[in-house]
Amino acid sequence: MHFLNTVILPLTFVAVASASFSGTPQRRAAFTKQNGIDAQKKNEQFKSLTADSPCTDGEEACINGSFAQCVDKKFQLTPCSGGTQCVVLPLVKSAGTSITCDTVADAGTRVADTGVKGGLDGRSLLERATAPPACAAKAKRTPVEPLTIAKRIAQSDLPAVAESWQKLCLASGGDITTGDPCVKLAGQDGISSLLANADACAQQDNADAMVTFAKSAGVKNKSALIANAIAYRKHPRNALNINGVVPSTLFCEKAPKNAELKGVVNAQLSGVNPGLFGSPATGVVAFGASGTCPFGKKADVKTCTCN
């Protein structure tokens, strides 16, 4: 696919443009609302893309919160800086849209300021999602101050998580050239898979790749690498505040490739809502929907547990 009228803007432009929207209401240009609609459509379309999706050289998109550009018919992903994600925004002074890194809150405001409704992707992120009573009761028993939740949206230990794998990988004695596993499985795919907007199975896929590398020829520290992969798989993913709600992150609904990862799932951050799951990329669903329990388990909405 190829989207027209798309340009890349530096984040500094986003900040300036956003500020212009926060003042007194201004008369909208004829193209303004259409820009908002087009941005919503592209944000929705990009949800279906993965790093392995076919592409045309020069094509640009957002994939799992990272900026993606097609080079040699394959998407190359560049993570956004802390607290931001790749989004499609409406242009302000002319017809069209832009792809850039921005905060979810600012991006949502810019889209809404065009006069459209439904958030970044054209639909409410909390559409009719209501936590089961049992889950709501659990949430009430474990209140968390808003400031605490805000701190936990972006986890500060992600660079250390990536570095721990990279050090073990570099000392492994295995083939660290093909596919660049020490960097790709750490600071690239490793961190991007732990972001709130990542695909629910991206973290497991990355952990599987780690274990597979650990089992490859020449590796001298197999046990340490596998232990690191398991710890990585258990790590919580970031959670974002969506309209005043911090939902739990969805679970992967497929079995891992390696037996070492069977039954190993990502933890949930303390303070997330146990009855609502999702992200800005997926929307929010109530406990009991697909992905609200780990693979192989069923949700019991009466007790808000997975069995």
Shared domain check, 205 and 94: no
Shared domain check, 256 and 167: yes
Please provide residue 283's backbone torsions phi and psi, each rounded to the nearest 5 degrees.
85, 175
In a domain, 265, yes or no: yes
Shared domain check, 147 and 259: yes
Burial of 172 (0-12, 13-18, 19+ CB in 10 A): buried
Identify the three-state secondary structure at position 235: coil
Residue at which a domain ends, from 66, 95, 121:
121
Shared domain check, 141 and 257: yes
Shared domain check, 137 and 117: no
Token pair 């659990």: residue:
138
DSSP line for 14-38: HHHHHHHHSSS--PPPTTHHHHHHH
pLDDT tens across 22-61, in order?
Answer: 333 456 788 999 999 999 999 989 988 999 999 999 999 9
Q: What percent of the chain has pLDDT over 70?
A: 83
The pLDDT score that the predictor gives to residue 9 is 37
The pLDDT score that the predictor gives to residue 6 is 39
In a domain, 173, yes or no: yes
Q: State the total domains in the chain.
A: 2
Side chain identity at 233, as an amino acid letter? R
Shared domain check, 167 and 102: no
Domain ranges, residue 273: 133-306
pLDDT tens across 65-96, in order?
Answer: 899 999 999 999 999 887 788 999 999 999 99
**The 3-state secondary structure of 64-105, one letter per residue:** CCEEEEEECCEEEEECCCCCCEEEEEECCCCCCEEEEEECHH
Residue at which a domain ends, from 65, 88, 121:
121
Number of helical (H) and strand (E) elements in the chain, helices listed first:
10, 11
Shared domain check, 166 and 114: no
Shared domain check, 151 and 268: yes
Average pLDDT over the chain reads 83
pLDDT tens across 118-159, in order?
Answer: 778 876 555 557 899 999 888 754 433 333 333 334 578 888
